[in-house]
Amino acid sequence: MYIVIEGCIGSGKTTLAKLLGKKINAEILIEATEKHPFIRDFYLNPAEYAFQTEMNFILIHYHQLQKGQQREIFVYNVISDFLFDKDLLFARLNLKNYSEFQLFKNTYNFLRAKIVNPDLVIYLRAPTDFLYARIKKRKREYERNIPFAYLENLNRTYNEFFDKYPRNRIIIFDAAHLDRKVNKNFLQEVTNSIKLWTERWKIKGRSCGGRCRVSP
């Protein structure tokens, strides 16, 4: 199975992906944010660096997924902390120039047709206040300038997208409930939910052998 953990900034998706990957002995695919050359500039000057930021993110994500396919990791269990579709969500929010957005969208559509499609998305839903507090607490330098209003718009965009995601391909959790400080059994709850989902939708093995492609 190929499982993606998604959520807005500060929802805890990377932590959960690493813990879950270790628990079920899966390959772990973590978003390579540290390789992005414009992320710090974007949060200082969004209008100036939005296009460069979104184009770099989509290429980084595509490279990671393509590299994974070349290594044939998707024939095994894989846990990732990013969904390729998230790039289009960010672009819709950040790219105000019509021509830039159309160029990005064309690139996105072309690349998306070439990558594997996850079997299951685990979406970590949280109120913006919770996300904002977490971001401030972890003190990542490039996140210090994220305005609350921007985070609120981004969180709304995430919720609207995943509210329409296919019901047979998603499990939604309250991110606050999965905080290890308040719920010591959160990881077992997640694995139990995956097991129930697998039994319900009979996704124990796919006819495409773990190499399903997304539609263009």
For residue 48, is it within any domain? yes
For residue 210, is it within any domain? no
CATH number at residue 59: 3.40.50.300
Q: Note whether 175 and 130 are within 8 A (CB).
A: yes
pLDDT tens across the length of the chain (216 residues): 999 999 999 999 999 999 999 999 999 999 998 888 888 889 888 899 999 999 999 999 999 999 999 888 888 899 999 999 999 999 999 999 999 999 999 999 999 999 999 999 999 999 999 999 999 988 777 787 899 999 999 999 999 999 999 999 999 999 999 988 888 899 999 999 999 999 888 654 443 333 333 322
Domain that residue 125 falls in: 2-201
Question: Which spans in 11-168 are helix H?
Answer: 13-23, 39-44, 46-70, 86-94, 98-112, 128-138, 148-163
Provide the number of structural domains found in the chain: 1
For residue 115, is it within any domain? yes
Largest pairwise CA distance in the chain: 49
For residue 34, is it within any domain? yes
Q: Rg of the Cα trace of the chain? A: 17
